[in-house]
Amino acid sequence: MYNGGESFRRCLDSLRQSGRQPDEVIVVADGDTDGSWEVAKAFGAKVFRYDSAGGPARARNRGAAMAQGDILFFIDADVTVGQDTILNVEIAFQKDVNLAALIGSYDDQPGASNFLSQYKNLLHHYTHQVSSEKASTFWGACGAIRAEAFHAVGGFDERYVKPCVEDIELGYRLRRAGYTIRLCKHIQVKHLKCWEPVSLLRAEIFYRALPWAELILSQGQPTNDLNLDRTSRLSVVLSFAALGCLLGGVIEPFLWIVAIAIMLGLLVINQRVYRFFWYKRGPLFALRVIPWHWFYFLYGGAAFAYSFATYRFRQFSTLAD
């Protein structure tokens, strides 16, 4: 937790109201300056406070080192758990002794009411709900792992000092070590974060897309999982093709017709997600989603292309030296 504010108070309140109480609550204050660590103390949590921020990887590792339980359940300070969330985590591990880790999902009722927050969190919910239960990544906002497996692979990589892909990287190491990770779609938390255009793009590009692309390139081929499914990858290609044809139409107007055809193709292959938004928030909301969704494919694809180019350049430079 770093300067958790009101969202952090709501997070703690949700733990207090949980039907299955956690055996212990550990809060790591990552250099907070707003007194949130005192709120955690008053709540009754075990608290460790760093003097300065060092990132969620270090903070989570510290919390895991303090924990005495067999199952470590990580949540972010800006989410709330449901009445049955903790119980469902416990049941999942009891039913499958071979399960090493699980991840959940955001629910379909995000805390912030503005369009971008509703869009982003609902898209996250949708992506997790339609993905394979066989997961290859971990998720720090709502992820549980057996303490034995966590410590066996060395926990989170503390070289990640910004909140980015430290949880995904942990998942990759777990899978390489032969551990099983499951996406449990019924285990859900509510995300309270309010996204605005600048904060969303900064987080999506610099804290997610760029480091994730770097991780994929260093690890090998991406899996057909979550945001990396084949439909998303094809949508990236089509989005750039449509943009290119729109720009090229200034010189050759026929390309505008090609652009329209490509955009129709984008609508068709992503019809399930647009129907989801229509069902959840109505037709006008679904229409507003489309340009943002296509923009997401553009900046995500651009980030991967940039990472690929710089990664290859570094490889070439190393060989040249």
Q: What percent of the chain has pLDDT over 70?
A: 97
Q: Domain containing 70 — which CATH number?
A: 3.90.550.10
Using CA atoms, how far apart are residues 185 and 166, in angstroms rounded to an integer?
22
Using CA atoms, how far apart are residues 263 and 267, in angstroms rounded to an integer?
6
For residues 146 and 100, the answer to whether their CB atoms sit within 8 Å is yes
Report, as an integer, the average pLDDT of 219-239: 79
Instruction: Give the H or E element holding residue 262.
Output: helix 254-269
**Residue 48 φ/ψ, nearest 5 degrees:** -120, 130
The pTM (predicted TM-score) of the whole model is 0.92
Low-confidence winner among 80-94, 174-188, 205-219 (lowest mean pLDDT): 205-219
Model pLDDT, residue 303:
92
92 Cβ contact list (under 8 Å, min separation 6): 99, 102, 144, 182, 184, 187
Model pLDDT, residue 230:
86
Residue 317: which pLDDT band, with cuts at 50, 70 and 90? confident
**Is residue 210 situated within a structural domain?**
no
Using CA atoms, how far apart are residues 38 and 40, in angstroms rounded to an integer?
5
Report how many domains make up the chain. Answer: 2
The radius of gyration of the chain's CA atoms, rounded to the nearest angstrom, is 21
Report, as an integer, the average pLDDT of 150-166: 94
For residues 225 and 137, the answer to whether their CB atoms sit within 8 Å is yes
For residues 129 and 105, the answer to whether their CB atoms sit within 8 Å is yes
**Is residue 214 situated within a structural domain?**
no
Residue 311: which pLDDT band, with cuts at 50, 70 and 90? confident
Whether the predicted pLDDT of 59 surpasses 80: yes
Whether the predicted pLDDT of 4 surpasses 80: yes
State which residues form the domain around 165: 5-195
Model pLDDT, residue 318:
74
52: Cα separation from own chain's centroid: 24
Residue 235: which pLDDT band, with cuts at 50, 70 and 90? very high
Residue 225: which pLDDT band, with cuts at 50, 70 and 90? low
Report, as an integer, the average pLDDT of 292-300: 96
**Is residue 202 situated within a structural domain?**
no
Using CA atoms, how far apart are residues 303 and 57, in angstroms rounded to an integer?
23
Beta bridge partners of 189: 81, 106
Asked if residue 307 and residue 263 are part of one domain, the reply reads yes
Tens digit of each residue's pLDDT (9 = 90 or more) over 100-139: 999 999 999 999 999 999 999 999 999 999 999 999 999 9
Domain boundary among 146, 170, 195: 195
Assigned token pair, 127: 């992506």
For residues 40 and 24, the answer to whether their CB atoms sit within 8 Å is no
307 Cβ contact list (under 8 Å, min separation 6): 210, 213, 214, 217
Mean pLDDT of the chain: 94
**Is residue 239 situated within a structural domain?**
yes
Model pLDDT, residue 221:
53
Tens digit of each residue's pLDDT (9 = 90 or more) over 6-22: 999 999 999 999 999 99
Whether the predicted pLDDT of 224 surpasses 60: no
**Is residue 59 situated within a structural domain?**
yes
Tens digit of each residue's pLDDT (9 = 90 or more) over 239-273: 999 999 999 999 999 999 999 999 999 999 999 99
255 Cβ contact list (under 8 Å, min separation 6): 245, 246, 248, 249
Model pLDDT, residue 157:
96
Report, as an integer, the average pLDDT of 72-92: 98
E strands, 57-193, where? 71-75, 79-81, 99-106, 142-146, 180-191
Asked if residue 131 and residue 80 are part of one domain, the reply reads yes
